[in-house]
Amino acid sequence: MNVDPACDILGLVDIQPTFMPGGELAVADGDAVVPVVNRLLPRFSHAVATQDWHPPGHTSFASAHPGRKPYDTLEMPYGAQVLWPDHALQGSANAALHPALNLSPVRVIIRKGYDPAIDSYSAFFENDHRTPTGLDGWLRQRGFRRIFFAGIATDFCVAWSAEDAVRLGYDVVVIEDACRGIGIPTKAGRTTLDDARDRLTTLGARFITSAEL
């Protein structure tokens, strides 16, 4: 697959130590995305990155809800919310973008999840699906039309970003070996990874490997 520097951009989603082995919300093999992404970056003239950036006591933390435990689901004013371990705390070393990540092509960093009353998975909207981050306007003004996504977690922040990108009219490609997912069981024989892939495929997003670039 050819990359057009005029209209293609690489979207790096939450590549932070907090989501890697040893982090507060560790995703299995999460650190393996860093070398893959660093190999991909020279293929792109432009990249954007997101950074989870939570204040203490964020409403998405299980610790903010007495009697609840991580991975419970709770109804919030903006919809169903998975409750997470405390993670990506503002100013902490684990909330920084991974120190080995090549940030030279990254033109914009979108911080999300900083509002204590609402979680934020997508690079484009808070979880109310209405409050924008401003990324869409920046991409349109710069003329980007296709977004290649990499990062963590495939079934949450990557998937929600990709879904919103499709609905906003972008061509979307998910680079599977440059992503890692959580895979929470949903029903017999299925996980949040399966559900996210089905949703994205139905919307028209493509899945490739880095070797195809």
The pLDDT value given to residue 16: 98
Amino acid at site 115: D
The pLDDT value given to residue 156: 94
Nearest to 95 by CA among 81, 109, 105, 107: 109
Mean pLDDT, residues 132-138 taken together: 97
Mean pLDDT, residues 58-77 taken together: 96
The pLDDT value given to residue 77: 94
Instruction: Show which residues are catalytic.
Output: 14, 112, 157
Model confidence at 187, pLDDT cuts 50, 70, 90, reads: confident
DSSP state of 26: P
38: left (phi over 0), alpha (psi -120 to 50) or beta: alpha
- Better-scored residue on pLDDT, 188 or 139: 139
Torsion of CA 97, 98, 102, 108, to 10 degrees: -10
Note the pLDDT tens digit of each residue in 72-124: 999 999 999 999 999 999 999 999 999 999 999 999 999 999 999 999 999 99
* Structural domains in the chain plus CATH codes: 8-212 (3.40.50.850)
Helix (H) or strand (E) holding 201: helix 192-203
Mean pLDDT, residues 175-186 taken together: 95
pLDDT exceeds 90 at position 188 = no
Model confidence at 189, pLDDT cuts 50, 70, 90, reads: confident
CB distance 210 to 178 below 8 Å: yes
User: In percent, how much of the chain has pLDDT > 70?
Assistant: 100
Mean pLDDT, residues 192-203 taken together: 96
Amino acid at site 59: T
User: In percent, how much of the chain has pLDDT > 90?
Assistant: 98
pTM score, whole prediction: 0.96
Model confidence at 173, pLDDT cuts 50, 70, 90, reads: very high
